[in-house]
Structure formats: C-alpha cells, structure tokens
C-alpha cells in the first residue's frame, strides 16, 4: 500500500480554503486516497466534508494512503507513490496555507 506521512502547515489546518485546495488536488489524481491521523481509520480525501470534519489542525502529522487493492488498473504502485508525494508536498507548502 503506497503511504506518505505529511505535516499540515496551513495556519488554520485543513479547514475552508486549505481543505478545498487539498481535496481538488486529491481528486485530480484520480486515486482513492485516504487521510488519517493518530492511528485512526482514514477518511476519503476526495470528500471536502470528511476532510474538514476530521480536525486536521496545523502541525499535526497525517498519513496519506492508497490501498493497493483499490488502485485503478491504469495506475502502477510507483505512480501512486508519486501522486502521494505531490500531495505531501502540497500539505507542507504555502500552496495549501
């Protein structure tokens, strides 16, 4: 299962605008990405409502994942790893802040 850890750097966490930017980026990958923290089950990172209600605050470490059995046939594990890396960079950059 492709997985990446990231630190949320947006001052307000993943709420409102930062969450919308992140969800659009996840949706653009075409992958069923989940996001979680503190060992809790992941939520669908393509859902603005689910992301905003999970309280991913500034400074928290999150885990981005794509279940290997959920990868579309047209996507290799290496491509999924690359997509997760781009999402990690987004969460840790000013673009999502």
Render pLDDT for 40-96 as a digit per residue (tens, 0 to 9).
999 999 999 999 999 899 999 999 999 777 777 778 888 889 999 999 999 998 655
9, 15, 42, 67: the active-site residue: 15
15 flagged as catalytic: yes
This prediction's pTM: 0.90
Question: Rounded CA gap, 49 and 70, in Å?
Answer: 21
Neighbouring C-alpha atoms within 13 Å toward the C-beta of 96: 28
Q: How many domains does the chain have?
A: 1
For 87, phi then psi, to 5°, come to -65, -35
Query: Can you give the CATH number for the domain in which 17 is found?
Result: 3.30.1340.10
- The range of the structural domain enclosing residue 16 comes to 3-96
């Amino acid at each position: 299962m492709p997985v990446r850890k990231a630190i949320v750097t947006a001052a307000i966490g993943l709420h409102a605008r930062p969450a919308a930017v992140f969800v659009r980026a996840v949706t653009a990958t075409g992958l069923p990405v989940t996001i979680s923290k503190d060992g809790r089950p992941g939520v669908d990172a393509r859902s603005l409502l689910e992301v905003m209600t999970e309280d991913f605050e500034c400074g928290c470490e999150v885990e981005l994942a794509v279940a290997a059995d959920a990868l579309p046939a047209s996507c290799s594990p290496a491509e999924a790893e690359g997509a997760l890396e781009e999402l990690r960079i987004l969460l840790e950059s000013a673009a999502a802040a």
